[in-house]
Amino acid sequence: MQEATDPIDAPRASSLDLSADKIHVWRGDRHVLRGAGFAVKAGELLHVAGPNGTGKTTLLRVVCGLLRPEQGAVSWCGRPIDAIRAEYQAAMAYASHEAALKSDLSALENLRYSVGLKRRVGDHELRDTLGRTGVAACADLPARVLSAGQRRRVAMARVLAMRAPLWLLDEPFTNLDSKGTALMCRMLEAHLDGGGLALVVAHHALALARPIRRLELGE
């Protein structure tokens, strides 16, 4: 428990920025994203909001590079993400709608094998991180038996442990109890204070003590 916030790769931290420009995506017959765009700098958070089914998740998948838009491009530090794939992915932590846990592996093992691909990390530190998200007791239970909120907290710990400067979170408050929601907010604050960036999809206002940029989809 040496560090209170996660130190992010220092040298680049000041010059980081993420932008998307005129993104168009069709899904089946629906023109889901019609020219969405934004720009976020180090220390900033973008709150993506909008009614159900207006393309928030779709936008996040475009930003993390899982979906190629029909038009438009996403850039990281000024370069299109397709050109710097490996570097961009190393700098990014994505948490999707589902917790993305292997149900037969314990919470700790799940973290070990996913965070471990991004950076060298020991079990001790991962246990600490699980403790910080309030699921230390579940570290050795198979993910299959965890409750919905516990799974979400493990996914939260994964994002934390990756120490990535860019967080892409899809409805991270889902299934969390009130303490969990407050914890998530504190984590976001600390991340931004450390020079990180975050894109957060959420239906409710975020209770952060700083101005928040907002992208409203589906008007």
Partner 1 sequence: MSIGAFPAMRLILRRELRLYFRRPDQLLQPLVFFLIVTTLFPLALSPRLSLLRDMAPGVLWVAALLSSLLSLETLFKADAEDGTLEQLALSGQSLGVIVIAKTLAHWLVSGVALVAMSPLVATALAIPTDAFPVMFASLALGTLTLSWLGAIGAGLTVGLRRGSVLLSLIVLPLAMPLLIFGASATDRAIGGESPAGALYFLGALCVFTTSLAPVAAAAALRITLE
Ligand X SMILES: Nc1ncnc2c1ncn2[C@@H]1O[C@H](COP(=O)(O)OP(=O)(O)OP(=O)(O)O)[C@@H](O)[C@H]1O
Using CB under 6 A as the binding rule, whether residue 57 contacts ligand X is answered as yes
Whole-number Cα distances in Å, 101 to 1, 50, 163, 186: 25, 27, 19, 24
Q: Which of 27, 30, 31, 102 binds partner 1 (CB under 8 A)?
A: 102
The token pair at 100 is 């993305």
Q: Which of 120, 124, 178, 209 binds partner 1 (CB under 8 A)?
A: 120
**C-alpha span between 99 and 151 (Å, rounded):** 6
Q: How far is the CB of 96 from partner 1 (least distance, A)?
A: 6
Report the alpha-carbon angle 190-197-126, nearest 5. Answer: 55
Binding segment (CB under 6 A) for ligand X, from list 34-42, 49-57, 83-91, 105-113: 49-57
Which of residues 86 and 209 has its CB atom nearest to partner 1 in the complex? Answer: 86
Which of residues 14 and 207 has its CB atom nearest to partner 1 in the complex? Answer: 14
Which of residues 22 and 31 has its CB atom nearest to ligand X in the complex? Answer: 31
Q: Are 59 and 19 in contact (CB under 8 A)?
A: no
**C-alpha span between 92 and 149 (Å, rounded):** 23
Residues at the site binding ligand X, with contacts judged by CB under 6 A: 27-30, 32, 50, 52-58, 138, 141, 145-150, 175
